[in-house]
Amino acid sequence: MSDPKILETFPNPAPQRDYVIEHTHHEFTSLCPMTGHPDFANITVRYVADKICVELKSLKLYFHAYRNEGIFFEAVTNRICDDLGGALRPRQLTIVADWKARGGFTSRVTAEWKAPKKRK
């Protein structure tokens, strides 16, 4: 099971400014929980940092940990959203997952994180 504890962070170099950071991972892969067949996606993490930013190499390792996990498109997108929201406590956060062709379909799931108590 992928664990958000492996995510590392560093201090936001410009906390006085609301600016947008967007990382797109082109090599996400997990397994279909019904058939066991591999699924592939591009995952975009778009956020406005508050106190901390996510370190890119640790984000890669966090994504790699899904490689052999069976999980639905809708569920994995929401879990990434919760994990990153919880780890970064950002001012804003959106996850976009673009799933490649599966049975004649392409799919996109888009989820936005809302802090329990938003401070903006």
Interface ranges with a copy of itself (CB under 8 A):
10, 12-14, 17-27, 29, 34, 37-38, 40, 49, 53, 56-57, 59-60, 64, 67-68, 72-75, 77-78, 81, 100-112, 114
Task: Report yes or no: 74 and 36 within 8 Å, Cβ to Cβ.
Answer: no
CA distance 113 to 3: 18
Based on the residue annotation, tell me whether 32 is a catalytic residue of this protein.
Answer: yes
Q: Which residue, 5 or 19, has its beta carbon nearer to a copy of itself?
A: 19
Count Cβ atoms below 10 Å from residue 92 Cβ, excluding itself. 18
Q: Which of 32, 50, 82, 98 is catalytic?
A: 32
The answer to whether residue 39 is catalytic is: yes
Task: Give least dist CB 105 to a copy of itself, A.
Answer: 5
* Nearest distance in Å: CB 91, a copy of itself: 14
Is residue 11 left, alpha or beta, with left meaning phi > 0 and alpha meaning psi from -120 to 50?
beta
What is the residue type of 113? W
Residue with tokens 């780890």: 87
Least distance (Å) from a copy of itself to the CB of residue 90?
13
Q: Return the active site residues.
A: 32, 39
